[in-house]
Amino acid sequence: MAYKTGLSEVADGCYAYVQGDGSWGWNNAGLICDGEASLLVDTLFDTRLTAQMLSTMRDAVPAAQSIGTVVNTHANGDHCWGNQLVRDAEIIASRRGAAEMSELPPAIMVKLNKIARLSMRMGVLGKGLGWVAGKLGVELLEAVVEAAPFVVEIFGDFHFEGIELVLPTRTFDDTLSLSVGDKRVELIEVGPAHTKGDVIVHVPDDRVVYCGDILFIGGHPIVWEGPVSNWIAACERIEAMDVDAIVPGHGPLTDKAGVRRVREYLSYVHDQARARYDAGMSVFEAAKDIALTDYVEWGESERIVVNVDTLYREFSGAGPRKSAVPCFAAMAKYAGKSRSTMA
């Protein structure tokens, strides 16, 4: 399907806001309106981008002048860190999604960016950088330094300073039915999958579904949480819906063929990782060994490292990872953009 960025109406009163190339941090959002009522699906990664989006929506759609409800599909900052600009609305997320939002506040990203930029300027890891990192409260300094060029490349266009974490005012488990004017809107929790509390937003009468990061179109999905079986089941659920318009969390608008491709990718990576786990390969060895031939046109292939790591944890019964920072160091190494590979 054609990749159209900006705001477009995908059904009567249902809009998609599609950003950039859909890569790291460039997420999509949605707007559902009926009469004077409106619901916003997700905010953006920073307040500057969120303000631009809201301005575009308000210029095009009168009901967007006063957003009554916001749904955050999950806890990643690119889907909720603009909440402070719609703080007067009722903000809804799954219970698990809301709890996860506090685990990585915007202040951490500010600190990581500072350390990454400092390490690139200093050139070598020294006592001075370690002292600054300690003052900033950043753990796993070696991993941050290793990932520095990659972190600056993928997040350098975003403005994290001044972001206030505004949490949901209402939470739910499993499902929640809402009304936007006379429109029925169904919130369906399908996580844990991409994150701990993923939600999709279904507008049955208009045959539209907003999928959050259950769908990455044109880019590799990233399995932060798992289990992958839940994510596959979520794709199957979307495929079974009577919908015409499917809005992914990243990338262009899609159809059920796009959903099927994501499901097939997840199944493929699961099976390939399982074979290498059974053979005793390390996570990084397995990630490098898995052929991505059928997905060579997809961006962000470095995410395969995180996907394999999550699957290995699933296979072994290990607990959740304590920090995502080493994941970025591993992805940087895979992509050839770590400090060690650039030295």
Output the pLDDT for position 244.
97
Q: How far apart are CA 192 and CA 96, in angstroms?
A: 8
Structural domain includes residue 124: yes
Structural domain includes residue 173: no
Q: How far apart are CA 111 and CA 160, in angstroms?
A: 10
| DSSP characters over 260-300 | HHHHHHHHHHHHHHHHHHHTT--HHHHHHHS--GGGTTSB-
Residue that terminates a domain, selected from 155, 180, 215: 155
Tell me the pairing of strands 245-247 and 208-210: parallel
Long-range contacts, 310-314 (Cβ 8 Å, 24+): 310/223, 310/224, 310/225, 310/226, 310/228, 311/223, 311/226, 311/228, 311/269, 311/270, 311/273, 311/274, 311/277, 312/273, 312/277, 312/283, 312/286, 313/226, 314/226, 314/227, 314/228
> CA angle 58-60-65, nearest 5°?
25
Structural domain includes residue 118: yes
Structural domain includes residue 113: yes
Whole-angstrom Cα Rg for the chain: 20
Structural domain includes residue 258: no
Q: What percent of the chain has pLDDT over 70?
A: 91
Structural domain includes residue 295: yes
Q: What percent of the chain has pLDDT over 90?
A: 78
Assess contact for 290 and 268: CB atoms under 8 A: no
SS3 at position 38 = strand
Q: How far apart are CA 313 and CA 320, in angstroms?
A: 7
Output the pLDDT for position 130.
52
* Helix and strand element counts for the chain (H, E): 11, 12
Residue labelled with tokens 């303000």: 51
SS3 at position 254 = strand
Output the pLDDT for position 322.
82
The string of pLDDT tens digits covering residues 8-66 is 999 999 999 999 899 999 999 999 999 999 999 999 999 999 999 999 999 999 999 99
Residue that terminates a domain, selected from 91, 124, 155: 155
Domain limits at 149? 106-155
Residue that terminates a domain, selected from 139, 155, 171: 155
Q: Structurally, how many domains does the chain consist of?
A: 2
Q: Which of these, 236, 241, 240, 226, lies nearest to 191 by C-alpha position?
A: 226
Structural domain includes residue 147: yes
> CA angle 304-310-312, nearest 5°?
100
The string of pLDDT tens digits covering residues 186-222 is 999 999 999 999 999 999 999 999 999 999 999 999 9
Q: How far apart are CA 54 and CA 231, in angstroms?
A: 30
The string of pLDDT tens digits covering residues 277-312 is 999 999 999 999 999 999 999 999 999 999 999 999
Structural domain includes residue 297: yes
**One-letter identity of residue 150:** F
